[in-house]
Structure 1
Amino acid sequence: MRVAGKVAVVTGGGGGIGAALAAALAGAGARVVVSDVDGAAADRVAAEADAAAGAHVAVGAAADAADATAIAGLIALAEREFGPVDVYCANAGIGPKGGLDATEDEWDRTIDVNVRAHVRAAKLLVPGWLERGEGYFVATASAAGLLTQIGSAAYAVSKHAAVGFAEWLSITYGDRGVRVSCLCPMGVDTDMLRAATTSDDPMGAAAGRSVVEAGSVLQPAEVAESVLAAIDDERFLVLPHPEVLEMYRRKGSDYDRWLRGMRRYQASLLAPES
C-alpha cells in the first residue's frame, strides 16, 4: 500500500516510536490522527506534522488505546477530519517489570493495552475494510514477541499474543484486502527503555540491560522508516534489527538449548558486579 493520500490512526503517538510513525506517515502524504493518553503530547506531535507539511495533515487526541469507546472515537474523529481510516497503527504499549509477583491489575492492564487494544480496533475496522476491499493494520509488538523478555512476564506474554493476533488477522483476511504488518524491534531509544535501564529494581534493570546488550539501540525515526518500507512492500514481519531473525531461527531449531542459554544470560545479568 502507498500511504500517500491515505488516512491513518497512530496510538501511543505522543512520543517514541508512535511519534516517529505519525511524522513519517504525514511526511509521506498521509493524514494522521495522533492519539495518546497524554493529549498534550499528541497535540504537539500533530502540530509538528502540520508545520512540517505546511498544511493540515494531522490532529491530536487524548485517548486510552485499550478502551473500545475511545477507539471508536478515534475512528470517528478521523472520518470527520480526513475520511475513512485506511491504516491503523496499534502502537501503544506498556512494559511493567515483574514475574509471578506482578499483580492481577498489572497483568490485566498489560494484556488490555498490548493485546486487546489490537483486537478491539480490528473488530471496529475490519468490516469496513472488507466492504471497501482495502485496509492496513500495523501491530507494534516487540522482539520479545518472537523471543522473550527477561524481567517482565506480562510484557513477554502480551507481546507473544500481539504477534499471534497479527498472524491470525493476516491469515483470516489477507486474501480479502486486509494487509497486516507486525513490528518487532529490540532496543529503541524511548522513555520505556530509558526507565528500564535506570531502574533500581534488579529485575527491571536486568530487563533493560538485556535489551541494550543484545544489539544496537535505534532511534524511533529509524524504526518508523522500516515500518513505512514494510507497508509499501505489504510485508508482515518488520525487523528494524535484522539479527532478530537469526535469533528466532536459533530458538526454533533447538528450543531446549535456547532456554538453557537464556537462563545463563539472565543469571549473568543478575550477578552482582565485582
Structure 2
Amino acid sequence: MRVQDRIVVVTGAASGIGRAMARRFAAEGAAGVVVADLDEAGATQVAKDIGDQAIAVRADVSSQDEVRALIDTAEEAFGPVGLFCSNAGVITGQGLDAGDLEWTRTIAVNVLAHVYAARVLVPRMVERGGGYLLHTCSAAGLISCPGDAPYSVTKAAAISFAEWLSIHYRTKGIGVSVLCPQGVRTGMLSGDVDAQHLTARAVVASGPILTPEAVAESVVEGLDAERFYILPHPEVAEYVRRKFDDPDRWLSGMARFVDSLEA
C-alpha cells in the first residue's frame, strides 16, 4: 500500500506520532492529508507546515457524528479517502483507582473511535474497490501496560477489532494494519504521565525511546509491505512469542518486573 496519490486522514495529528505521520505521508506524495485533532490550533499549524495538500479539521473521535463529519469533510475537500489512520489515543496512568468516567472516555477514544471510522468508511471502500485502515494500538495491546489498566484493556480491544475487520474484509479489498510501538517520545510519555509514575518507568526500562519520526518511517515500511502488525520496536515480537509460548512464566516475569519498579 503506497501512500503516493492517496487521500489520507490522520487523527490525533496535532502532535507526536500523528503529526510525524501526517508530515511523512505528505513527503511520500499523498494527494491530500487531513490533519484531525481536538487541538484545532495545533492541527492548523501542522497543516500549514505541510502546505496546500493539507487541511486541518477539529474532531472529537469519541463522537460518531464528528467522525462521520470528519470523513465527509475529507472527501469533499480531496476525494475518496484511501488511508484512514485512527491514531488519536488517551492514557490514564490509573489502575483499579480509575473511575467509570476514565474507563468510559478511554474506551470511547481508544476503541470506539476505530469502530466509528470503520462504520462509515468500510462500506464506501468496499464499493470503491478497496482502501486501507491503520489503527495505532500500542505494544500495550499485546503485552499490557504496567500501571494503566484502562489503557492496556482498550489497546488490546483495538487490536482485536482490527483483526476482526481484516478477517471479514481482506478479501473485499480492505487492508488493515495495527501500529504497536513501545516507548515513543510524545506527550503521552513526557506530559500526560509523570516521569516517576509506574507506567513511565516501565516504558523507559523496557527499551529504547523512539522519535515520532522513526515510528512514521516504520509505518511507511509496514504499509508498503501490508503487514498487519507494524512493530517499530522489533523486540516486541519476541515478547509476544514468549507470552504465548508459556503464559504462566510470562505473567510471573511481568509481575516481578512490576515489583522491581515499585521497590
Look up the SS of the partner of 2:143 in the other structure: coil
Question: Shift in Å at residue 196 of structure 1?
Answer: 5.6
Question: Shift in Å at residue 199 of structure 1?
Answer: 4.6
Question: Shift in Å at residue 135 of structure 1?
Answer: 0.5
CA contact (8 A) 1:197 1:209 kept: no
Question: Shift in Å at residue 57 of structure 1?
Answer: 0.7
Aligned to 2:144: 148
Question: Shift in Å at residue 197 of structure 1?
Answer: 5.8
Q: For residues 184-232 of structure 1, what are the alpha-carbon distances to aligned partners after superposition, in whole Å with 9 as ceiling and x for unaligned? A: 00000001101366356xxxx1100111111100000110111111111
Q: Does 1:177 align with 2:210?
A: no
* Counterpart-to-counterpart distance in 2, 1:190 and 1:82: 29
Aligned to 1:46: 47
Q: Which amino acid aligns with 1:4?
A: Q
Q: For residues 53-110 of structure 1, what are the alpha-carbon distances to aligned partners after superposition, in whole Å with 9 as ceiling and x for unaligned? A: xxx1100111101211111111111112111111100000001011111000000000
Q: Which amino acid aligns with 2:244?
A: G
* Counterpart-to-counterpart distance in 2, 1:12 and 1:63: 9
Q: For residues 24-78 of structure 1, what are the alpha-carbon distances to aligned partners after superposition, in whole Å with 9 as ceiling and x for unaligned? A: 111111111001110000011111111xxxxx11001111012111111111111
**Range with bigger deviation, 232-241 or 72-81:** 72-81
* Counterpart-to-counterpart distance in 2, 1:112 and 1:154: 11
Instruction: State percent identity of aligned pairs.
Output: 50
Q: Which amino acid aligns with 1:10?
A: V
Q: State the superposition RMSD in angstroms.
A: 1.0
Q: Does 1:163 align with 2:155?
A: no
CA contact (8 A) 1:11 1:36 kept: yes
Aligned to 1:53: none
Map residues 29-108 of structure 1 onto 2, 5 A cutoff.
29-30=29-30, 31-50=32-51, 56-108=52-104
Note closer, same or farther for the CA distance 1:188–1:10 as it changes in structure 2 (3 Å cut): same
CA contact (8 A) 1:115 1:159 kept: yes
**Unmatched segments (≥5 aa) in structure 2:** none
Q: List, as ranges, runs of 4+ consecutive aligned residues in structure 1 with deviation greater than 4 Å.
A: none
Relative to the length of structure 1, the TM-score reads 0.94
Q: For residues 107-144 of structure 1, what are the alpha-carbon distances to aligned partners after superposition, in whole Å with 9 as ceiling and x for unaligned? A: 00001000000001000000011011111000000111
Aligned to 1:3: 3
* Counterpart-to-counterpart distance in 1, 2:7 and 2:69: 15
* Counterpart-to-counterpart distance in 1, 2:45 and 2:214: 20
CA contact (8 A) 2:16 2:185 kept: yes
Q: For residues 159-189 of structure 1, what are the alpha-carbon distances to aligned partners after superposition, in whole Å with 9 as ceiling and x for unaligned? A: 0001101111111101110000100000000
Q: Which amino acid aligns with 2:50?
A: A
Look up the SS of the partner of 2:36 in the other structure: strand
Relative to the length of structure 2, the TM-score reads 0.97
Map residues 228-243 of structure 1 onto 2, 5 A cutoff.
228-243=220-235
1:195 pairs with one of 177, 191, 198? 191
Aligned to 2:25: 25
CA contact (8 A) 2:91 2:192 kept: no
**Unmatched segments (≥5 aa) in structure 1:** 51-55
Q: Which amino acid aligns with 2:44?
A: D
Aligned to 2:244: 252
Look up the SS of the partner of 2:33 in the other structure: strand
